[in-house]
């Protein structure tokens, strides 16, 4: 039996359940396609309590985070967040995360479910020389993602704060259905929306039911994965791992080479001097039937140039799409082919994100 979130009982009554990162989680409710389209057109609610949440606090908490992440965390204002990466000494990506300053000397780092144990050990071991503490809040809190063009309208009915005043990557303490939460304008779907973390588990099912009551529809991990691929967002263990640098992944915007020393800075500087990217993360869009699945090879004029890391059928676009790494820099619309069970099928290099909501634009949502 896998781990369970505080909402397991509610999910088990209504969803098709499956395993992810050691958790028993809802994969779909009404169906993946319906849940993707509802998120694009209206608003969906996702239980993301399986993700890692860590409180870092103390006089040198900002210095610790400046050392272990690639972004300049010490510059964050109160209740401001930033997407960042954790790298090893050779510049390989160990984790991607969002960090929020929740107090003058306190921060919350939200990372991937599959990296929870690693994140905790890394933060403690690499931060031991700093006057700061690290506490794992993952099992003692509830985290919900409220995503879609109507998320603000629906959430506002049960929220104490004026949501129109919360900008992207900003947060606010708020009462939702009477329960206190740290609410941020972030997400992993490419849509506008919010993520709410409740630090008391009492009433978790009441909160879930209350949000369904104002019109949010439940969505599972299947839809969440399709949505993040449509948005061109990487997932750790797929597009990101220790063999990939932020330069390779097109995530160098999350690296501050101007700040002081941080783990991996020297290696990244050397990589830049040697030309930067060793491989290129690209979008793939099928020109004929089929879906480019993980591990499928990519070819240019008969030469293998890479492989797919994530793939799906996109309900929003009505086509098979994927993300993958290739060894050559190719312009969007360049014709390539993908090996689908031994048969070469036509596809093209595509700009990512594949799907750009009118309310946001490219690159507006990350991670998470």
Write the pLDDT tens digit of every residue in 85-96: 999 999 999 999
Alpha helices in 141-191 (DSSP H): 151-156
Question: pLDDT tens, 3-49?
Answer: 999 999 999 999 999 999 999 999 999 999 999 999 999 999 999 99
Structure pTM?
0.95
Q: What is the mean pLDDT of the chain?
A: 95
For 100-137, how does the pLDDT look when each residue is reduced to its tens digit (9 = 90+)?
999 999 999 999 999 999 999 999 999 999 999 999 99
pLDDT for the residue numbered 277: 87
Query: Which of 174, 217, 220 has its CA nearest to residue 199?
Result: 174
Flag whether 191 is in a domain. Answer: yes
pLDDT at 366: 45
Q: 186 versus 361: which is more confidently predicted?
A: 186
Residues 317 and 203 occupy one common structural domain: no
Q: What is the Cα 281 distance to its own chain's centre?
A: 16
The domain boundary, picked from 230, 247, 265, lies at 230
Instruction: List, for residues 229-244, the tens digit of each pLDDT value.
Output: 999 999 999 999 999 9
Strands 44-47 and 217-218: parallel
Closest among 207, 211, 192, 233 to 368, alpha carbons compared: 233
Residues 17 and 160 in one domain: yes
> Which of these, 242, 227, 222, 237, lies nearest to 193 by C-alpha position?
227
Helix or strand holding residue 54 (H, E): strand 52-57
Work out how many domains the chain is built from and give that number. 2
Task: Assess whether 182 and 288 both reside in one domain.
Answer: no
- What percent of the chain is modeled with pLDDT above 70? 97
Backbone torsions φ then ψ of 18, nearest 5 degrees: -155, 180
Burial of 13 (0-12, 13-18, 19+ CB in 10 A): exposed
| pLDDT of 362 strictly over 90 | no
User: Which tokens go with 368?
Assistant: 């998470």
Q: Within this chain, do residues 27 and 150 fall inside the same structural domain, yes or no?
A: yes
Last-in-domain residue among 230, 263, 296? 230
Q: Looking at residue 306, which CATH number applies to its domain?
A: 2.40.30.110
Residue 196 belongs to some domain of the structure: yes
For the stretch 272-294, pLDDT in tens is 999 878 999 999 999 998 999 99
> Do the domain assignments include residue 148?
yes
What is residue 69's three-state secondary structure? coil
Evaluate whether 195 touches 48 at the Cβ level (below 8 Å).
yes
Judge if 223 and 284 occupy the same domain: no
Residue reference for tokens 């109160």: 78
One-character DSSP codes across 261-323:
--TTHHHHHHHHHTTS-SSEEEEEEESSSS---TT-EEEETTEEEEEEEEEEEETTTTEEEEE
Domain assignment present for 212: yes
Give the residue-averaged pLDDT of 254-274. Answer: 97
* pLDDT over threshold 60, residue 55: yes
Same domain, residue pair 173 and 35: yes
Same domain, 292 and 225: no
Domain annotation covers residue 211: yes
| Contact status, residue 364 vs residue 168, Cβ threshold 8 Å | yes
pLDDT of residue 359: 55
364 has a pLDDT exceeding 80 = no
Can you give the residue range of the structural domain that contains 23? 8-49+141-230
Both tokens of 168, joined, read 């992207």
């Amino acid at each position: 039996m896998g781990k369970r979130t505080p909402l397991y009982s509610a999910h088990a009554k209504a969803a098709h359940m499956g395993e992810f990162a050691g958790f028993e989680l809802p994969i779909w409710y009404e169906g993946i396609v319906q849940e993707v389209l509802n998120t694009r057109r209206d608003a969906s609610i996702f239980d993301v309590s399986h993700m890692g949440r860590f409180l870092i606090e103390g006089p040198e908490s900002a210095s610790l985070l400046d050392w272990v992440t690639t972004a300049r965390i010490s510059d964050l204002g109160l209740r401001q967040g930033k997407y960042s990466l954790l790298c090893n000494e050779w510049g390989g990506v160990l984790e991607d995360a969002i960090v929020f300053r929740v107090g003058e000397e306190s921060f919350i780092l939200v990372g991937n479910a599959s990296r929870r144990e690693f994140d905790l050990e890394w933060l403690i071991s690499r931060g031991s020389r700093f006057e700061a503490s690290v506490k794992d809040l993952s099992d003692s809190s509830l985290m919900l993602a409220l995503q879609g063009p109507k998320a603000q309208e629906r959430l506002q009915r049960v929220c104490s704060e004026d949501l129109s005043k919360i900008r992207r990557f900003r947060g606010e303490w708020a009462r939702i259905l009477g329960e206190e939460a740290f609410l941020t304008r972030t997400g992993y779907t490419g849509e506008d929306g919010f993520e709410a973390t409740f630090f008391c588990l009492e009433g978790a099912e009441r909160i879930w039911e209350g949000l369904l009551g104002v019109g949010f529809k439940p969505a599972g991990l299947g839809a969440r994965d399709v949505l993040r691929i449509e948005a061109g967002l990487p997932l750790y263990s797929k597009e990101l791992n220790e063999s990939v640098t932020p330069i390779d992944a097109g995530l160098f915007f999350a690296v501050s080479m101007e700040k002081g020393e941080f783990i991996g800075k020297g290696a990244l500087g050397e990589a830049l001097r040697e030309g930067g990217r060793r491989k290129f993360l690209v979008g793939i869009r099928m020109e004929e039937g089929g879906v480019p699945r993980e591990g499928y090879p990519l070819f240019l004029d008969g030469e293998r140039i890479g492989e797919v890391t994530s793939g799906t059928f996109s309900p929003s676009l009505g086509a098979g799409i994927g993300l993958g790494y290739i060894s050559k820099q190719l312009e969007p619309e360049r014709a390539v082919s993908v090996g689908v069970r031994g048969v070469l099928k036509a596809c093209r290099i595509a700009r990512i994100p594949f799907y750009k909501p009118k309310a946001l634009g490219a690159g507006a949502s990350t991670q998470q």
